[in-house]
Amino acid sequence: MRLSILAFLLSSSVGVYAEEEYYYRADYDHYPDQVCLATCEGTGSDEVCTFKFRLNQFASELGYYIVDGCEGIMPVLGMKQNVQYRFIQRDISNYYHPLGFAYLADGAHDDVDELEPSIVPDGSSSKCGDDNTCPAPMYINSGKYLGKYSNIDEVAPYNGDEDFGLDVYEPQFFASPGDWQEAGKYEVALKFDVTDFTKDIVYFCHIHQYMSGKIKWVDEAGDVLQAADDPEIPYDYERATAYDQSCGTYGVEDFKLPNAQCPTEFVCKEAGIDKFAHCVDSMNCAMTAGMTTGASSNSAKALFVHQMIPHHQNAVNMAKALLNSGDLVCNDLTEETADCTLMVVCLEIITGQNHQIQSMRGAVEELGYPGEDDCLVQVSHVSSTRRFSVESAKQFKDEKYCAQKSASSNNLVVVKCDGSQAQQFKITSDGQLKAGPIDSKLCVNAKGTKVIAARCAKGDSGTVTKSLDGGLAMVVDGETMFISLNGKNVDGEIPLKLKKTSGFKSQGWHFNYIEESNLEEEDDDGGSDSDSEEGEDDDGGSDSDSEEEGVDDD
Ligand SMILES: [Cu+2]
């Protein structure tokens, strides 16, 4: 989607809550064919290689791991066998995401083998399982090893044991963010010392499923021992759209207002925080649409889950969007400033509620109910009755200019705002902008690059979307175009034109809603007025457009 190229620039925001200043870059892509090597120091048995882990919270619903020096999300890591590695998890973005290592994607989430002292790598002739000395991660907090097993003498004396520290390490990630940050410096040591095994292994999050990345074995020169992807990660990585990236959210792209399933707005008056407010509008619409569900399972448990998941998703999106806004400044989560308090709340919501979403999905699956039971409920009675003027953000000689049909043609133009019905619009249940007096059957549409008022018809190109920056976008032949001021003031009219440019700073639009009380009494009829000429999406027994004709302004 083109809508937010400008806003996209904001996605390389500074991770202000990171341990060190860090740019999230445009780390939303995944590069399956790039093998990223660690930073190594020392030689021979003294060699220690390091991968520094963080999370891009905004890359997907759950966020994805990123690794310093590696491109993209969930990078494929190249590891040498028989060499010590450290996976550093000090950055606060690792909160709630303790690393695990497994032979197949998702480890225990999917009931497959993890790297554990008692588990012999598949196909290896090693007898390491007999004395609990098989390759396994060793979990460390602030330099203190948390387990008993060891195959790295520099961390702890060699020892066969089933305890490799995970049972201490993982629970600490459930602490509050401030306590977690204060508790120490988390890292995992791993030396894979079984050398008759060349299949890929996997790093993954021990709390959240679907966050598995590949580790391939490489030789001294950094060349892979096994080119084939075996085993495969059995799912594709999600990718936040440009719009979601600009908001910091996931999955709200399709719920930009206006949307027939949502009211015309959630944030009623924007002032200076338009972009964040637009994001809130979209995510609230996603929740509103998501929280209209069926009850086909005939189960209170299923209904609870189907309703609670979109509810939780919205909490996560709101928290992510606030983090993404850059408005919170907190360098130490244990400080009791308002910003730090809110940052802790955001981090807890994102990680905890995402975890609960996965638990709830698992529960309905176990109960044999479908994961979703969505139904479409049109809120058209809300979106169809409210009328508004479309005012250009750009003023001329301090005069406000509003859109309306030209006096002399079908072209849409702006003229001085006068509050007349000619300058009133409403959004139809199809997402079109209906232009002009209450009995008008004209909708804003495109003719080439001209913006015209043409007879409303379903399924044409006239779907109008308010973009993040307050621009008005229309999709014409698959391309997003922006309604823009064009040319000179001729006889008090300035024509409009569709442009591809994203310079909508000067092309923003305000919807000035007209109070219901200023409209005609008949219009306040409980929302049953009809948008569609066919009346097919009506709720029955309602008045039609033609019946509105009797209504006129004072
Ligand atoms: Cu996680």
List, for residues 15-55, the tens digit of each pLDDT value: 333 444 444 445 889 999 999 999 999 988 889 999 999 99
Q: In whole angstroms, what separates CA 79 from the centre of its chain?
A: 31
Q: Which of 98-102, 478-482, 519-523 has the highest mean pLDDT?
A: 98-102
Three-state DSSP state, 300 = helix
Going from the Cα of 109 to the center of ligand 1, the distance in angstroms, rounded, reads 12
Tell me which of 178-192, 286-300, 407-421, 448-462 is least confident: 448-462
Burial of 220 (0-12, 13-18, 19+ CB in 10 A): exposed
Q: How confident is the model at residue 379 (pLDDT cuts 50, 70, 90)?
A: low
The pLDDT tens digits of the residues spanning 200-225 come to 999 999 999 999 999 999 999 999 99
* Residue 521 alpha carbon to ligand 1 centre in Å: 54
- CB 271: neighbour CB atoms within 10 A? 7
CB of 185 closer than 8 Å to CB of 172: no
The CA-to-CA distance between both ends of the chain, in Å, stands at: 43
Dist. CA 379–CA 485, nearest whole Å = 32
| Distance in angstroms (rounded) separating the CA atoms of residues 209 and 286 | 23
Other C-beta atoms closer than 10 Å to the C-beta of 526 total 9
Q: How confident is the model at residue 461 (pLDDT cuts 50, 70, 90)?
A: low
Q: 170: CA distance to ligand 1 center in Å?
A: 11
Residue 237 Cα to ligand 1 middle (Å): 14
CA distance 366 to 509: 49
Going from the Cα of 370 to the center of ligand 1, the distance in angstroms, rounded, reads 24
Averaged confidence pLDDT in the chain: 82
Q: Does residue 312 have a pLDDT over 50?
A: yes
One-character DSSP codes across 362-376: HHHHHHT--S--B--
Sole residue written with tokens 């409303």: 456
CA of 352 to the centre of ligand 1 (A): 10
Cα–Cα distance, 545 to 428 (Å, whole number): 12
Name, in order, each residue with C-beta under 8 angstroms of 259's C-beta and a sequence gap of 6 or more: 285, 289, 431
CA 383/CA 258 separation, integer angstroms? 8
Asked whether the beta carbons of 540 and 532 are under 8 A apart, the reply is no
Q: Determine the distance separating the centroid of ligand 1 and the alpha carbon of 526, expressed in angstroms.
A: 46
| pLDDT value, residue 270 | 62
Range from 109-118, 166-175, 225-234, 263-272 carrying the lowest mean pLDDT: 263-272
Full-model pTM: 0.69
Torsions phi, psi for 336 (to 5 deg)? -100, 40
* Confidence category of residue 470, pLDDT binned at 50, 70, 90: low
